[in-house]
A and B are shown apart, each in its own frame.
Chain A
Amino acid sequence: MSFKNTFDTYDWDTVEKEIYSYTAQDVRHALDKEKIDLEDFKALISPAAKGFLEEMAQHSHALTKKRFGNTIQMYIPMYLSNECQNICTYCGFSMTNKIPRRTLSDAEILKEVAFLKSKGYDHILLVTGEANKTVGVSYLKNAIELIRAHFANISIEVQPLDQDEYEQLIEAGLYAVLVYQETYHEATYKTHHPKGRKSNFDYRLDTPDRLGKAGIHKIGIGALFGLEDWRVDSFYTALHLKYLQKTYWKTKYSISFPRLRPHQGEVQPKVEMTDADLVQLICAYRLLDEDVELSMSTRESERFRNNIISLGITSISAQSKTNPGGYVVDPQSLEQFEISDERDTDEIKQMIESQGYQAVWKDWDKSYFEIA
């Protein structure tokens, strides 16, 4: 049994029709309930909920405050490699882009780490493309072991792995894995991932199951907005979340909301997602689930990020580079996408504090992994 079994009982077009058929009355009903279910969630992400945005935001704000307090968790991505054997039509690292590739050496990783430590970061996200020969499990394991003395909390966003491979990385000190389905629309998925291991839709879909079985502390899921209708993809993400929470109840979950950003490829968003849409979605997730972590990257603009702090998100990155060595080693290397909010860490910290929130740097301890 895996999420695939649940997934197969739903039909994209039916879900889409349902979402678009909801009325203001359904939204009202959902907002008046103390606990909302997946059907209510459909109403809250429907076009009918547009008129309730302020009320949803107020709910989301209050629920987030109760569960997470007046705090925002800080994290920083570190790209280790832009080598990739996949073709993803929307990604700068796609194999078809004829650009110089690089993978950081141990010495280079430590140089980048020194810079990130000087900025105060204690939670780090390691990112790579998918190049299993050069950037496989042994490379990742080595990287985690190399940096674990420097960080309280290590996450990765890399190619999907097998359960035993995750187990090795967890033993090395890995806390969380982020793995986005990109889109839950199987046919669209195939057109955007025509080649490479990533073209296997089902293997990716069941990655969180393998992580849950491996006993990971946290799993991050989400869809890449722009490939398909964000409302339907978000319903499937919520379905995925609820399935995982019931099945792997010892694991924490987070959701991210990447919208397509300009990059070294050609694809433009098929379905646009406006700022108001994104706010609606963030609030809907919070109303569905009080304790799921909601994460906001530097893909979004200054203005948007300033205003989203108190709406329901719980963690944020700052000053990110999306290219390997981007901080100090090789600032000119190929980036995955252009970030939008380019402010430095101190500015973001001040922005958070000025809104009555505390920027939290450390909320885990590396010693929890030294037990075995």
Chain B
Amino acid sequence: MNDILKIADKEFSSRLFTGTGKFSANHLMTEALIASESELITVALKRVDVANEEDTMLQSIMRPHVNILPNTSGVRTATEAVFAAQLAREALETNWIKLEIHPDPKYLLPDPIETLKAAEELVKLGFVVMPYIHADPVLCKRLEDVGVQCVMPLGAPIGTNKGIKTVDFLEIIIEQSNVPVIVDAGIGSPSHAAYAMELGADAVLVNTAIAVSKNPVAMAMAFKIAVQAGRIAYNAKLAPVKTYAEASSPLTSFLN
């Protein structure tokens, strides 16, 4: 089955994107990321020592078919985000950027106004922009208008593992979007990931649930399978949900 996800100039056969935070050791992270078969891995610019070519975090990720997606975690404004993105482009030699602007360090909720501003600016500067945002359908359309290559609405507050709490809004976003929709944040278990994929999300991004699991490698594999299952189910068209049973003796048969 040819079910390739295309974002900007890149094609992905895996719809599971992953992150690099919270792992207990780099070697464990490497094993988990390999098991996930993820081809897009996000890394916080602030965790990387860009001056050091032998940065162990980066070395632990780099493999063929794996793309590094630097993120701007830690910035509070559009100006800071644009600056950080440029630094990341220079240091990591990629024009892809996961735009995260969360001025609130407690819940790490994205600032929609600054994000839209930064996205517009970054697109003009030639970046492939992947914005982390609330599940806000209007904001998604506004971001699409300024030229982002996908949107990354949250399923629940980041790091909470609460699952797809924003389902009603995600459904609208997925229905209306002309760019890929990647559900980011809140996915705590493989069933959440499968659910997001069944809804029609183009991909999911999972970090905490893998990194903090007792067995990150096995959990990465579980997510890989769940995302595949959810995608296949979506393509196969789910049977409709019914709130009542079909009557065995139809009420209108007398009309025939």
Task: Spell out A's residues near B (CB within 8 Å).
Answer: 65-71, 122, 152, 245, 249-252, 291, 353, 356-358, 360, 362-365, 367-368, 370-371
Contact = CB atoms under 8 A, between A and B. Distances in A.
A67 B159 CA distance: 6
B47 A70 contact: no
Interface in B1-55: 21-26, 44-50
B80 interface: yes
A158 B211 CA distance: 37
Given A245-B106, A358-B23, A368-B80, A122 B74 contact: no
12 contacts: A66-B159, A66-B160, A69-B21, A71-B21, A152-B49, A252-B105, A291-B106, A362-B49, A363-B44, A367-B84, A371-B79, A371-B80
A235 B104 CA distance: 24
Contact of B211 (A69, A357, A360, A364): A69
Decide if the interface of chain A is mainly helix, strand, loop or mixed.
Answer: loop
A70 B76 contact: no
A155 to B, nearest CB: 15
B137 interface: no
B22 A71 contact: yes
Interface of B: 21-26, 44-50, 74-76, 79-80, 83-84, 87, 103-106, 159-161, 208, 211-212
A70 B47 CA distance: 15
A308 B206 CA distance: 29
Given A251-B105, A356-B25, A368-B46, 17 more contacts: A66-B159, A66-B208, A68-B22, A70-B25, A70-B212, A71-B22, A71-B23, A249-B104, A249-B106, A250-B76, A250-B104, A353-B25, A362-B46, A363-B47, A364-B74, A365-B45, A365-B50
B106 A358 contact: no
Contacts of B160: 66
Nearest to A69: B22
Contacts of A71: 21-24
B49 A122 contact: yes
Contacts of A365: 45-46, 50, 74, 84, 87
A367 B22 contact: no
B23 A368 contact: no
A362 B47 contact: yes
Contacts of B46: 152, 362-365, 368
Given A65-B212, A66-B212, A358-B23, A250 B103 contact: yes
Contacts of B48: 362
A36 to B, nearest CB: 16
B188 to A, nearest CB: 9
A18 B106 CA distance: 29
A115 B87 CA distance: 28
A370 to B, nearest CB: 7
